[in-house]
Structure 1
Amino acid sequence: MKKKYFFILGVIMIFIFISIPIIHVLKTKWNESDFKNEIPKGYTNDASQLNLTKIDTLIKVPASKQEIESQLRQILKYAKEKNLKISIAGAQHSMGGHTIYPDGILINMLPYKHMELDKKNNILTVGSGALWEDAIKYLDKNDKSIAVMQAFSSFSVGGSISVNGHGWQKNLPPISSSVVSFSLMNQDGKIINCSREENPELFGLVIGGYGLFGIILDVKLKVVDNIALQYKYIRLSADQYPYYYKKFVSENPNVNLVFGRLKISDKHFLEDATINYFEKVNEKPLPLPLQNAKNEETKRLVFRSTVNSEYGKRLRWDLETGMNTMTKNAVYSRNELLNDHVSLIENKNPNSTDLLQEYFIPEKNFNQFIKDMKPVLKTSELDLLNITIRAVNKDDDSFMNYARENVFGFVFLFNQKKTVEQEDAMKILNNKLVDIALKNNGTFYLPYRLHIDKEKMRRVYPQTEAFFQLKRKYDPSELFDNKFYQHYK
């Protein structure tokens, strides 16, 4: 009888153990809403959902090269006649009004997405409105892959160049390093070709220039072979990250893609880490349509279940590290890994938004930065969802470069309620983290919320004054404008 009792009790305990995480994730789904925050006619917003702004006109450009040049010149003429400013948008994943000017003309570049591959020289010519996922699918048919791009494929090519995004490709500079050249329509309607040899000053200003110098049209990008990659990972103490990164990644010629993650749940907060890397293997990669389907909604719900939940944060860490063990040595194509969509972490709560902040720290100050930020994050009322680590090599191309030496980028994701109180709290936190980055000879990334004042921004970016002087040199009437420029100029 006792054996039967203990058996039943054991079954119940196992059931409860299995059920709790399932119930927790299902509760997240139950509390979500399909309600969409519709943007009213005559307004625009960006990924922050905190920049609802009235505009004069929203114009979608045509898809063809001949039509777009003619239409853009008409827009420039109209804007000058009516004394209107112009802002330029792609997928609008910047978060500080970088694609918006109040009561101005907003040019939506997304329809302009033609592509042509030069197989001999491994160069892709692409319209600046194309999303990276479009380019990946196109290149996949030709056994090629994007050289450098951000973690999600739902951004536009022109937008990524305008913020000079960086990727998770092993030990490479930002996207700037993969840009061969681009054509730019200036404020007079003239098409200018920009490269390291032709108009080099403008080349460096436009990359990471936030749309302030003209309209990027056609971009030539370096591409690489699409290869098969095998997944590897290690768990380690966070203070050992630089050492193990060098040992397992930098000194390993087979590593192609890599990212790290810090543990953010209360137990061992910022003390544990993982390095996740992908090594080249001698296999033929499968084309995208034949890759194994992923349960993307389950992944998204596990991630969303971490919002305001210590249990959810621990559950995600345990599930991911557990899955890491099970999927270790799994083989993927490079294009499959690059083709993750931002919908994988989509927030479906209309009362909150997810915000990114990012800081770039030299290797020698890696551990001190974590030590300094730990008490600040612990006492903050903001809900921290994730910290990813990426190595970014020195950028010698962009004028407003954030990687002036080899650095580690700490990518923070927060969930913030859409209230004045939480926005103020985020501003305070971001300023504290920028101060810590400055103390550790680091920088912060400019595409996010405009929380930093002019003086502190110039301490981090001492080239700012020269940047804005050159802006006025190339655009003397300041036709191209946005909230970023208004805040910092």
Structure 2
Amino acid sequence: MRVTKKNKLFSFVIIVIVLGIIAFPIVHILRTKWGETDIHRTLPPHYVDDASTLNPTKVDTIIAIPKDRSAIENQLRQILQYANAKGLKISVAGARHSMGGHTMYPDGIVLNMLPYNHMELDTVENILTVGSGALWSDAIHYLDHYGKSIAVMQAFSSFSIGGSLSVNGHGWQKNSPPLASSVLSFTLMNAKGQVLLCSRKENSELFHHVIGGYGLFGIILDVKLKVVNNQSLKFHYINLAPENYTKYYKKYILDNPKVDLVFGRLRVSNKNFLAEATLNYFEQTAEQPIQLDQQNKKMEETKRLIFRGSVNSEYGKRLRWDLETSSAIPARHLTFTRNEIMDSQVSLIENKDTTSTDLLHEYFIPERNFMKFIQDIKPILLKSKLDLLNITIRAVNRDDDAYLNYAQEDVFGFVLLFNQKKTAQQEVEMQTLTDLLVDATIKNEGTYYLPYRLHITKDKMRKVYPQANSFFRTKTKYDPSELFNNKFYRHYK
């Protein structure tokens, strides 16, 4: 068949278009990489900060707790004596992923608990005894040798176990209350230097106040956690309209006994803003998991750049959504172990722009108001000048353990991630935005999470947490001199 000039031109145009489609996202990702820096901020001596990078605070002393289990109690008692003699306050820190100064007090002592990370597994009762400074990733790797897995934990494994208890973090495990539900007991050093065993039966008032108590009642030392079997899980997902989310959640998650891990997402690009959603879940399978090789590890940097490329970029947000919702992505059809899935690092979304920071919000909404909450926050978010990067949805069952309880009934947690410039103007805009979002939460009978920026007044906080006054009275009952202290306590007490 004769090829005409017209056909050649048409073929050439098609090739150019295809190459453009392929090349444009690559250029976008490379431009994101070129705009980053590996320069890390260095704090002056005697200064600490947290994950917000907005809380540089001068402290008296930073003390790393010894790894040795037999030495820790004596050293901690000496620190308590020193603090009392000098009139200093004590804050307890782990991986510092809270964002409101929860791990620091001006001119106080900061206890770095990370070295205290011992582990021991009771293979008969399936109970892990672990030092509070251990990271969840440490525990996952340890349990992997025994074919076991963490029962309940947050989406990232970079947090410390003691820190997660202090905020009563929740996970993405199906039909699960927050982390408190998997805690059998823990030991606590109080302000007098006494080590107390706390459980639902022994020192129960302390048990309920320390979990989700933000380090205000003492120093968590050893924690006993329930563990479960590691198993093979296969990924599935559904594209859906947000108004169908709770109906599909019941059909594909609650009514499916094989589902183990589950989360949802809302679309945050200007195109179809909050008008599309995905329901993502991992189902138990008899298939053998894939073996992760070095090439898979290298893909993590590509994933991070795709995420970072969505910052202040409508194209980047659309690209990320299209990639995450494409059935053509090979990982959509693979099988992994539960531990591989749960061992996810915060570095996957790391911000390397020193002029900005990523800040989390979280709002817990009962099912009956799920769609109304989305409708109420949509105009607020569209009007805001702050860059919304992500909204993840996680179901959290009612929590009957933590006294300062955010899951007062079964709820859906909306986890919002913003990118904020480190300017006074954007800080004011964030405070205004947070206040409006909390108002929408109160309107929809929900609660907001307390580990983040301290932008809500203590009066409004008490509308959401009417038990707050009682909580703070109990704090002074056990610690009348307010030895254990932090910026969170100063702001809300």
State the 1:184 CA deviation.
0.2
Change (3 A) 1:286 1:143: farther
Q: Which residue of 1 aligns with 2:354?
A: 350
SS in 1 for 2:177: coil
Q: Which residue of 2 aligns with 1:318?
A: 322
Change (3 A) 1:169 1:288: farther
Q: Is the 8 A contact 2:130 2:223 kept in 1?
A: yes
State the 1:292 CA deviation.
5.3
Q: Is the 8 A contact 1:227 1:284 kept in 2?
A: no
> Aligned partners of 2:328, 2:95: CA distance in 1, in Å?
31
Task: Map 1:74-473; keep pairs closer than 5 Å.
Answer: 74-283=78-287, 293=297, 295-322=299-326, 326-473=330-477
> Aligned partners of 2:11, 2:386: CA distance in 1, in Å?
44
Amino-acid identity (%): 64
Q: Is the 8 A contact 1:255 1:280 kept in 2?
A: yes
Q: Which residue of 2 aligns with 1:15?
A: 19
After superposing on structure 2, the runs of 4+ consecutive aligned residues of structure 1 that deviate more than 6 Å are: 286-291
What do the CA deviations read for 1:180-222 (whole angstroms, capped 9, x no partner)? 0000000010000000011111000000000000000000000
Change (3 A) 1:139 1:290: farther
What TM-score does the superposition give when structure 2 sets the normalisation length?
0.97
Query: One-letter code of the match for 1:453?
Result: T
Task: Pick the aligned partner of 1:477 from 460, 475, 481.
Answer: 481
> Aligned partners of 1:468, 1:285: CA distance in 2, in Å?
48
SS in 2 for 1:388: strand
> Aligned partners of 2:305, 2:272: CA distance in 1, in Å?
24
The CA RMSD over aligned residues, in Å, is 1.3
> Aligned partners of 1:202, 1:324: CA distance in 2, in Å?
51
> Aligned partners of 2:20, 2:264: CA distance in 1, in Å?
32
Query: Gapped runs of 5+ residues in structure 2?
Result: none
When structure 1 is superposed on structure 2, of 255-264 and 315-324 the one drifting more is 315-324
> Aligned partners of 2:8, 2:258: CA distance in 1, in Å?
55
SS in 2 for 1:87: strand
Change (3 A) 1:291 1:144: farther
What do the CA deviations read for 1:242-278 (whole angstroms, capped 9, x no partner)? 0000100011100000000000111111010000001
State the 1:51 CA deviation.
0.1
Q: Is the 8 A contact 1:288 1:335 kept in 2?
A: no
Query: One-letter code of the match for 1:237?
Result: A
What TM-score does the superposition give when structure 1 sets the normalisation length?
0.98
State the 1:13 CA deviation.
1.2
**Alignment size in residue pairs:** 489
Q: Is the 8 A contact 1:141 1:287 kept in 2?
A: no
SS in 2 for 1:430: helix
> Aligned partners of 2:60, 2:214: CA distance in 1, in Å?
20
Query: One-letter code of the match for 1:483?
Result: K
